[in-house]
Amino acid sequence: MQLLVDGAPVPGSEVTAVADATSVSGKTGPDGRVTLSIDREGAWLIRAVHMIRLPRTASLAAPSWESYWFTLSFHTARR
């Protein structure tokens, strides 16, 4: 899969796929791509979080970070 934000690749992000008690993870490369081995049937959830540091402001109430949360769920079945 490929992780993009505003059409640009997101390198170095941890991506995790979870099914029941099984999880596999990897980091995206410079092109935002990662390959995960989905080796069993059932329901899967893939997730990743990308954080962007925001410019500092004089206001203490202003946010410091912007977060993008990615999820993809699907079900695999044996043929």
pLDDT in tens, 12-41: 999 999 998 899 999 999 999 999 999 889
Domain ranges of the chain: 4-54+62-76
Model confidence pTM above 0.85: no
Query: Residue 58 pLDDT > 80, yes or no?
Result: no
Give the per-residue SS3 of the chain. CECEECCEECCCCEEEEEECCEEEEEECCCCCECCCCCCCCEEEEEEEEEEEECCCCCCCCCCCEEEEEEEEEEEECCC
Q: Give the pLDDT band of residue 63 (cuts 50, 70, 90).
A: confident
Q: Is the pLDDT of residue 59 over 80?
A: no
